[in-house]
């Protein structure tokens, strides 16, 4: 083995030594800033800003149709287990990271917990409720009733009029019976109650709660003394700048329903960051106006279809009634035809009698006989004209009856098509309500 000679052994050069010292200097100065990140990596916690926390809360709303309650385990707004605590009066605390589906505590870049407040203002009447942390059936679109099943119309098609009896049998009843007028069919079947059919509440109910909250009294979760908000998140920053013994500065401590304004600038006595989400802002971010408008539009379409169906029902009833009138006219014509036939037979018989009397008169034809014959001839001619008119009227009425039945069929067909259309529009409106956010 060959030993190294002295000329092959040498130390660090000045350049290498300078670079090494520079790297060590950078590490020394950077180490304090890296400690929180290293601590977060070791503890598994998630480092987020107040804006990130706000986005996580909005995502929770979309997934659960409500905001989470705060984590208030210790009763002082310093929850420890990450689970929400939904007591009636629990509206301030820490972010419930477990409830929000996060794998680790939600803390700021300095490893400190966020303070969280949610607007809660319940009401015994659900339509007036504004508790944003509770799922409730607050919104139901105004929908028309369900319509009845297909209506069976009472008129029976019978355009062929029975022939009247022979003249001698004038006391026999006219064939057929007088038709019965149809009763007005019921249109209503019962309210659909969209939410009851759906069996659940959805995002539209949260939108309605936001609307209710805008009309509720002040004094609950708020910022800047008197401004109510849907939720608020406070980041304590890195230090107790105002040196009051708590990392939260200004109005963020003590823990009350009032938070500091997001507009307060950082200073020597304040380093908190506040994110506040107003009711209208939350509604806009969630698309509430468009979603509610879409459902209400579908409800109006359902009402329009329902009104058209009602009009079709009463028009069909009118056509039924007119058909009954035509049937009645035909049967009255049957009586008229019988009476005209009998009248012709009677006048013809009277004329024959008068002629027989005239022929058998031995004293010559008197004035009374001549007058009787003349009257008999006139009556017979008149009766014949009336019978002919009755026959003509009969043909016209039969034609009208046939046309009237066609109108009944057309009206019934339209009624059924409008019934199906009304049902389809109502189904669409209910489905729109059930979709919630996803219009």
Q: Please give the pLDDT value at position 438.
A: 86
Q: Please give the pLDDT value at position 317.
A: 84
Segments in the chain below pLDDT 70: 1-47, 74-79, 151-190, 193-200, 217-226, 336-384, 386-387, 390
Q: What are the tens digits of pLDDT across the range 356-374?
A: 655 555 455 555 555 555 5
Q: Please give the pLDDT value at position 19.
A: 53
Q: Alpha-carbon distance 359 to 172, whole Å?
A: 36
Relative to beta strand 222-223, strand 258-259 is parallel
Q: Please give the pLDDT value at position 199.
A: 59
Q: Please give the pLDDT value at position 326.
A: 81
Q: Domains in the chain, please, with CATH?
A: 44-118+217-286 (no CATH), 146-191+300-435 (1.10.287)
Q: Please give the pLDDT value at position 383.
A: 60
**Residues 6 or more apart in contact with residue 170 via CB below 8 angstroms:** 338, 342
Q: Please give the pLDDT value at position 352.
A: 63
In this structure, are residues 305 and 425 in contact, taking their beta carbons and an 8 Å threshold? yes
CA angle 172, 174, 178 (to 5 degrees): 135
Q: Please give the pLDDT value at position 96.
A: 92
Q: Please give the pLDDT value at position 283.
A: 96
């Amino acid at each position: 083995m060959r030993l190294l000679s002295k000329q092959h052994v040498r130390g660090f050069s000045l350049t290498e030594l300078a670079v090494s010292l520079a790297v060590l200097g950078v590490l020394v100065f950077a180490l304090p800033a890296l400690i929180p990140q290293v601590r977060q990596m070791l503890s598994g916690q998630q480092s987020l800003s107040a804006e990130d926390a706000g986005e996580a809360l909005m995502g929770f709303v979309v997934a659960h149709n409500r905001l989470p309650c705060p984590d208030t385990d210790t009763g002082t707004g310093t929850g420890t287990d990450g689970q929400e605590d939904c007591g009636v009066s629990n509206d301030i605390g820490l972010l419930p990271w477990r409830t929000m589906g996060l794998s680790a505590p939600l803390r700021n870049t300095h490893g400190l917990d966020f303070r969280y407040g949610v607007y809660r203002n319940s009401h015994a009447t659900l339509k007036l409720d504004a508790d944003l942390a509770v799922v409730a059936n607050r919104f139901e679109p105004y929908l028309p009733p369900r319509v009845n099943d297909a209506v069976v119309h009472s008129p029976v098609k019978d355009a062929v009029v029975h022939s009247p009896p022979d003249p001698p049998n004038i006391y026999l009843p006219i064939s057929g019976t007088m038709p019965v007028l149809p009763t007005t069919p019921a249109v209503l079947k019962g309210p659909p109650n969209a939410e009851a059919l759906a069996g659940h509440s959805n995002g539209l109910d949260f939108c309605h709660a936001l609307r209710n909250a805008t009309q509720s009294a002040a004094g609950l979760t708020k910022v800047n003394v008197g401004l109510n908000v849907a939720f608020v998140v406070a980041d304590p920053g890195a230090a107790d700048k105002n040196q009051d013994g708590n990392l939260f500065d200004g109005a963020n401590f003590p823990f009350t329903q009032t938070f500091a304004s997001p507009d307060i600038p950082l200073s020597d006595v304040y380093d908190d960051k506040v994110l506040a989400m107003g009711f209208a802002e939350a509604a806009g971010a969630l698309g509430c106006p468009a979603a509610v408008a879409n459902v209400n539009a579908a409800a109006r379409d359902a009402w329009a279809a329902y009104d058209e169906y009602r009009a079709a029902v009463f028009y069909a009833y009118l056509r039924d009634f007119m058909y009954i009138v035509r049937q009645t006219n035909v049967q009255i014509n049957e009586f008229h035809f019988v009476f005209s036939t009998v009248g012709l037979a009677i006048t013809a018989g009277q004329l024959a009698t008068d002629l027989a009397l005239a022929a058998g008169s031995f004293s010559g034809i008197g004035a009374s006989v001549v007058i009787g014959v003349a009257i008999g001839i006139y009556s017979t001619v008149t009766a014949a004209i009336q019978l002919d008119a009755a026959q003509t009227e009969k043909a016209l009425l039969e034609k009208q009856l046939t046309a009237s039945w066609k109108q009944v069929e057309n009206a019934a067909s339209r009624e059924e098509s409008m019934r199906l259309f009304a049902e389809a529009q109502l189904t669409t409106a209910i489905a729109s309500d059930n979709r919630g956010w996803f219009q």
